[in-house]
Amino acid sequence: MKWFDYATPASVGEAVGLLTAHPNARLLAGGTDLLVQLRAGRKETDLVVDLKRIPELNAIEYDPGRGLSIGAAVPCYRIYRDQTVARAYPALVELASLIGGTQIQGRASLGGNLCNAAPSADSAPLLIALGATCRVAGALGTREIAVEDFCTGPSRTVLQAGELLVSLHLPPPPAHSGARYLRFIPRNEMDIAVAGAGVEVVLDDGKFRSARIALAAVAPTPLFVREAGEALAGQPVNEASIARAAEIARASAKPITDMRGTAEYRRHLCGVLTRRAIEAAVERAREGKR
């Protein structure tokens, strides 16, 4: 690994200043992607900016009225050890528990996972399904971006030079709602999604009031399949309606063939995972556990 310098800004403003002064700087939260990429020569930098001393990037705040805010550098293990989050967003806790393994979860953050912008990022589909937004800070102030609009291609995001992701915001869980992220991996842990599906459903008296569905690893970016969710709205909760939504998700996928699976297999998985995730989310909504 080539030499780089190291900075620990104490505020968002200071971090933005460093990013502006060093266009080649790289941000460090958990480092589970960055250090691997630097070592493999896939990325280069002359300055690593450690975000873990900036309060806003390291806070978890929950308010039943306003929802949940997670600092972009908060490692997964803090999310799943947080009892409040566990009660309000069980699917999010599951998500934080399946990124990498125990040691990776001690470092990796949802914000970092999003900013790495891998098509297979596990965090994106569920965050999209939950209607999460990104708070981004830059020299000109802050802006909010829906998670589905954050990634623009493999390893590319909407972040402009000098901008950084500060936190993620999840709206308060609607009544009678449930969410679930399911991914397919050949091992049972420590693996990259071959495909993944994140679902949130809101039920209303035996029917779907609304639903949001997003997919992982089957397009250049995490894929929000709005139509699949819309197809459920107003429909009765049954095999046929769920199958229709799963089929829309399957048909929307634009996967490639690589070492993790063929395009055909991945498309097939989208249908299976979407159906299973909807069923699991419905069950959760019915149990009142989200």
Contacting positions for other proteins (CB under 8 A): 1-6, 8, 28, 30-32, 35-36, 38-40, 48, 50, 52, 75, 77, 100-107, 184, 186-192, 194, 258-262, 265, 268-269, 272
Q: Between 62 and 80, name the residue whose CB sits nearer to other proteins.
A: 80
Q: Is the dihedral of CA 272, 275, 277, 279 positive or negative?
A: negative
In residues, how long is the chain? 290
CA distance linking residue 48 with residue 200, whole number of Å = 37
Q: Between 84 and 103, name the residue whose CB sits nearer to other proteins.
A: 103
Q: Between 107 and 207, name the residue whose CB sits nearer to other proteins.
A: 107
Return the structure tokens found at 263: 């395009």
CA distance linking residue 167 with residue 139, whole number of Å = 16
What is the Cβ-side half-sphere exposure of residue 181, based on CA atoms within 13 angstroms? 31
Beta-carbon contacts of 160 under 8 Å, excluding residues fewer than 6 positions away, are 138
Rounded to a whole number of angstroms, the minimum distance from the CB of residue 190 to other proteins is 6
**Which is nearest to 213 in space by CA: 187, 190, 246?**
246
- Give residue for tokens 């589909």: 125
Rounded to a whole number of angstroms, the minimum distance from the CB of residue 142 to other proteins is 27
Phi, psi of 212 (to 5 degrees): -130, 135
Rounded to a whole number of angstroms, the minimum distance from the CB of residue 98 to other proteins is 10
Rounded to a whole number of angstroms, the minimum distance from the CB of residue 256 to other proteins is 13
Q: Between 47 and 233, name the residue whose CB sits nearer to other proteins.
A: 47
Q: Between 192 and 199, name the residue whose CB sits nearer to other proteins.
A: 192
Kind of pairing, strands 5-7 and 223-224?
A: unpaired
Rounded to a whole number of angstroms, the minimum distance from the CB of residue 153 to other proteins is 20
Q: Between 82 and 148, name the residue whose CB sits nearer to other proteins.
A: 82
In terms of DSSP H, where are the helices of the chain? Answer: 12-21, 34-39, 76-80, 83-88, 90-98, 102-105, 110-116, 123-129, 226-232, 239-252, 263-287
Rounded to a whole number of angstroms, the minimum distance from the CB of residue 28 to other proteins is 8
Q: Between 50 and 204, name the residue whose CB sits nearer to other proteins.
A: 50
Rounded to a whole number of angstroms, the minimum distance from the CB of residue 18 to other proteins is 13
